Structure 1
Amino acid sequence: MTFRPVRSLAQLTRFVLAAIAALALSSASATLHAQDWFKTETSSGVSNIRLATADFKAASSDPQTIPLKRTFDTTLFNDLTNAGIFDMVSKSMLPQATPGAPNEINLAQWSAAPTSAAMVAFGALSTSGGRLSVSGFLFDAKNAQFPQVLAKQYNEEASEDMARQIAHRFADEIIFRLGGGVPGIAETKIYYVKVSGPNKEIWAMDYDGANQHPITHLGTVSISPRISPDNSRIAFSSLGRDGFQIRMYSLLLNRVVNFPLAGGTNLSPAWSPNGRDIAFSSSRSGDPELYIADSNGGGSRRITSFRGPDVSPVFNPKTGSQIAWISGRTGLPQLYIMDTDGSAVTRMTDGGYATSPSWSPNGQFIAFAWNRKYGPGAPGGQDIYVMEVATKRWIQVTHDIGRCDFPSWSPDGRHLVFANSPNGRASSSRIISMLADGTGRKTLTEAGADMPNWSWK
């Protein structure tokens, strides 16, 4: 089947948002081998630590204490479970005593079976006069002489949201200390597209799907949100009188800020890791090509020039000196990488239909959507794959869950978020997170959510 160059907005949109149905799997032994290789290549170099988290001790009789403690306890346990680097002890195996301070914990009980914890997180929570106070501790259960690893104090406004935020902060402190010095992701955000009647707006949520709320209220179709490295602005593409154009929303000013319009259809913005440049696809020359402009939209320069659409650029976040993108220059869309001046072009995929690349924070891997057996009657489907850039080795990380697209890496490089349509229809699209090897999947939204983008930090 020959791929025809995209000429209309509808065709270009179908190209960027390609949706195809279910892929045949590799053999079980090959999949396990690939899985083992990928876990080795992406691990932080530390084995999973058996970690117990005690429900925090209620340290006041204020009526807000118990409900906020419940929120805090649940959030902390979920954050540590989601990290993917701990063997979490079930709450049913914990000692009955609830320690709130270092002099209240009996480490021998926590290190002995059935708990068998290597590390224990515990503390106390209280509310008074509209303020929330939390004392959190992390102890080494095997070190009776010098057990304290971490001690933190928090004092904030008493609210459910703040109880969640404090739990996120404490979880990230634990993850940083025990996870090889890699910062946790509990305080990060995910930006995405939410269908709102005939319109599509840009929304945001916490990394775990909580606190979902709208960012834009433009009353049109806005797609492809990309948060800046400093979390101050969102670049996206929005439909207006001049077709799809790149727009900019300031999270500091809570409004759209000026970004110059350009000719043609302009889609899929991507930030450089230093926040100074934006790459995007534009049809201003008649054929969709890639351009790079400064973060205010000036100094635009073209970096591709080949018949066939070039779309979905993404910078190498480690170096900022390379771009991965999708091109139809050889027929069906394939994954390519090149230097930011347009040189050293390298084709990465060997066939099928590829879309939506996302470069890992360490620069070693690219996640993308790929229908490896695309074509009439082919038993293929669109799934998420991860490729090692240096060797072009790849692993399929989603299987048999419908159309998968728009992967985005977490800033710790241990997780991916992506859009999934179980029945292949855009209206059923939801957002799912998982560990980068495809395990630990969690559905974050209901249907009507698409194109997620994980914040840089």
Structure 2
Amino acid sequence: MTKRRVRSLLKILRFVGPVVTASACLFFATASPAMAQDWFKTETSSGVSNIRIAAADFKAVSADPQAGPLKQTFDTTLFNDLSNAGIFDMVSKSMLPQASPGAPGEINLAQWAAPPTSAAMVTFGAFGTSGGRITVNGYLFDAKNTQFPQVLSKQYNEEASEDMARQIAHRFADEIIFRLGGGIPGIAETKIYYVKVAGGNKEIWAMDYDGANQHQITHLGTISISPRVSPDNSRIAFSSLGRDGFQIRMYSLLLNRMVNFSSLGGTNLSPAWSPDGRQLAFSSSRTGDPEIYLTDSNGGGMKRITSFRGPDVSPVFNPKTGSQIAWISGRTGLPQLYIMDVDGSAVTRLTDGGYATSVSWSPNGQFLAFAWNRKYGPGAPGGQDIYVMEISTKRWIQVTHDIGRCDFPSWSPDGRHIVFANSPDGRASSTRIVSMLVDGTGRHNLTGPGADMPNWSWK
């Protein structure tokens, strides 16, 4: 297969998500991993054409004084959501025609398709408030199709608030992304759960996918770590320090309170949900050596699935099949990345050295993102970065470079993004949460210092 042929393939696969794009790139990995990484980065960041889309500021259709600030929130959020999607080339607002169309009869597509806008797609609409309600009519038009240009039309009527203006923008952005991004749902309405230092303790917090709406979930006054949200977004499992050491605890997002989870004995860390929400995998030292165990979602029916000297930690289920678990094991010395079937059989080591610490499985089940200090040791160059590996071939790419210590990657449900913890200077106090496209581009900070261990919601 020629490189030109692959470029053509990548242009198609881009809209199915860079996770699949990575597969085509990894096909060319040879005995020189550095060459494979450079080629991957070039092809996914600049060799693939995105859809050029213009997002017009919505037309104000009411004189309500509340409308102006809420419309600004809506316009900004919609533009940012589309920019963050990873599949669009956004037209700068400075290049848009001056008039903001509010309805299909008001748009001159020729203006939007012509330079300097040169848009392939245009989103526009009307925004108003009245009687404490927001009304939005949103449209997506194909600027090149003069006969049947309308691709999408949506109407919204919700309570007037800044948060709701953001939520409506998120919903409309996800509709656009779904239509133009290969039928994969967008992530604008997803959440990220994480750990934040609060008054000397560590509590579980949540935020929108873009870092907005940061708020505290638990108020336990202790050390709580490793939050993992259930597939249906109803509960958060995490590990918390109490009188019996670290134990798995459960918080209901429906009831907004802690709920019962059986005490397991020993030190219990890093819970992970099965894709059907019926099981949890976690690491427990109840026998003296940390091993991987399974329980039902309430902590019952405990079953040990690893049995080897050396710590076994940080399990995560294959979200596509639920039939495999990836985890970190120190059974051969320094911790390495492994996968196995859920009954503990078919154990396979994936990394060939260095120091691996945490792992996340891609939604399509084909790739693993993990933290790895590949040249670990006294005086060794490099540091801990985020890597992506194709499981079937064990070929990998490095997706962070020279930004300090990186850990705890978590895959977005659309397979196009990864969120992770980053400490630019290596100190725990400076750790922040960062989001990027899966090829390492489009990186931006979601939090300031003091945030760690992110987990992206399943949907």
1:186 pairs with 2:188? yes
Match of 1:33 among 36, 39, 53: 39
Partner AA of 1:330 in structure 2:
T
CA gap 1:38/1:55 in 2 versus in 1, 3 angstroms: closer
Partner residue in 1 for 2:124: 122
Aligned residue number for residue 21 of structure 1: none
* Distance of aligned partners of 1:290 and 1:29 in 2 relative to their CA distance in 1, 3 Å threshold: closer
> What are the equivalent positions in structure 2 for 1:369-448 lying under 5 Å apart?
369-448=371-450
Which structure's relative contact order is higher, taking Cα pairs within 8 Å and 6+ residues apart?
Answer: 1
Distance 2:384 2:361 in 1: 19
Q: CA deviation at 1:263?
A: 1.3
8 Å contact from structure 1 (residues 365, 389) kept in 2? yes
Q: Structure 2: which 5+ residue stretches go unaligned?
A: 1-31
| Partner SS state of residue 76, structure 1 | helix
1:165 to 164, 167, 178: 167
The corresponding residue for 1:6 is: none
Deviation at 1:450, TM superposition (A): 0.1
Superposed displacement of residue 230, structure 1: 0.1
On the 8 A contact 1:35/1:395 being kept in 2, the answer is: no
- CA deviations over 1:95-121 (Å, ceiling 9, x no partner): 111100000000000001110101000
Residue 63 of structure 1 is matched in structure 2 by: 65
Q: Deviations over 1:206-236 (max 9, x none)?
A: 0000000000000000000000000000000
Alpha-carbon offset, residue 30 of structure 1:
4.4
Alignment correspondent of 2:202: 200
One-letter code aligned to 1:314: V
Is contact 1:411-1:456 (8 Å) kept?
Answer: yes
Identify the residue that residue 221 of structure 1 maps to in structure 2.
223
Is the aligned partner of 1:456 residue 2:458?
yes
Q: Among residues 210, 213, 227, which one is paired with 1:211 in the alignment? A: 213
% identity of equivalent residues = 84
Shift of 1:47: 4.5
**Which one of the candidate residues 305, 308, 313 is aligned to 2:307?**
305
Match of 1:20 in 2: none
Q: Distance in 2 between matches of 1:448 and 1:388?
A: 32
Q: 2:338 aligns with which of 330, 336, 340?
A: 336
Deviation of 1:197 (Å): 2.1
Distance 2:143 2:381 in 1: 52
Q: Distance in 2 between matches of 1:375 and 1:139?
A: 56
Residue 271 of structure 2 contacts residue 283 of structure 2 at CA under 8 Å; is this kept in 1?
yes
1:156 — aligned with what? 158
Shift in alpha-carbon separation, 1:28–1:343, aligned structure 2, 3 A:
closer
Deviation of the 1:32 alpha carbon? 2.0
2:238 matched residue in structure 1: 236
- Within 1, Cα distance between the matches of 2:329 and 2:323? 19
CA distance in 2, matches of 1:138, 1:77: 13
Which residue in the other structure is 2:356 paired with? 354
Q: Please tell me whether the aligned partners of residues 45 and 441 of structure 2 are also in contact (alpha carbons under 8 angstroms).
A: no
Q: Normalization by structure 2: what TM-score?
A: 0.92
- Establish whether residue 270 from structure 1 lines up as the match of residue 272 from structure 2: yes
Q: For residue 245 of structure 1, give the secondary structure of its aligned residue in structure 2.
A: strand
d(CA) in 2 for partners of 1:39, 1:112: 26
Q: Give deviations 1:33-54, integer Å, cap 9, x for gaps.
A: 23357789xx9xx951110000
Q: 1:198 deviation in Å?
A: 1.6
Letter of the 2:95 partner, please give it: M
8 Å CA contact retained: 2:264, 2:299: no
CA-to-aligned-CA distance 1:131-181 (integer Å, 9 cap, x gap): 000000000101111110000000000000000000000000000000000
C-alpha spacing 1:189/1:384, structure 2 compared with 1 (3 Å)? same
- Aligned: 1:90 with 2:92: yes
2:297 corresponds to: 295
Aligned amino acid, residue 31 of structure 1: Q
CA deviation after TM superposition for structure 1 residue 28, in Å: 7.1
Measure the CA separation in 1 of the matches of 2:33 and 2:256. 50
Code of the aligned partner of 1:196: A
Letter matched to residue 40 of structure 2: A
Q: 1:153 to 1:320 in 2, by over 3 A?
A: same
**Counterparts of 1:345 and 1:36, CA distance in 2:** 34
Residues 366-407 of structure 1: CA distance to partner in whole angstroms, max 9, x if unpaired?
A: 000000111111113000000000000100000011000000
- Give the alignment's TM-score, normalised by structure 1: 0.92
Secondary structure of the 2:313 match is strand
Match among 54, 76, 88 for residue 78 of structure 2: 76
SS in 2 for 1:162: helix
Q: 1:246 to 1:85 in 2, by over 3 A?
A: same
Structure 2 equivalent of residue 102 of structure 1: 104
Distance 2:390 2:428 in 1: 29
Amino acid of the structure 2 residue aligned with 1:394: W
Structure-1 residue corresponding to 2:318: 316
Post-superposition shift, 1:445?
0.2
Secondary structure at 1:367's aligned position in 2? strand
Matches within 5 A, 1:138-149: 138-149=140-151
Q: Partners of 1:174 and 1:334 in 2: how far apart?
A: 40
* Dislocated runs of 4+, deviation >4 Å: 26-30, 36-40
2:226 counterpart letter in structure 1: S
- Unpaired runs of 5+ residues, structure 1, are 1-25
8 A Cα contact 1:176 1:182, kept in partner: yes
RMSD over aligned Cα atoms = 1.5
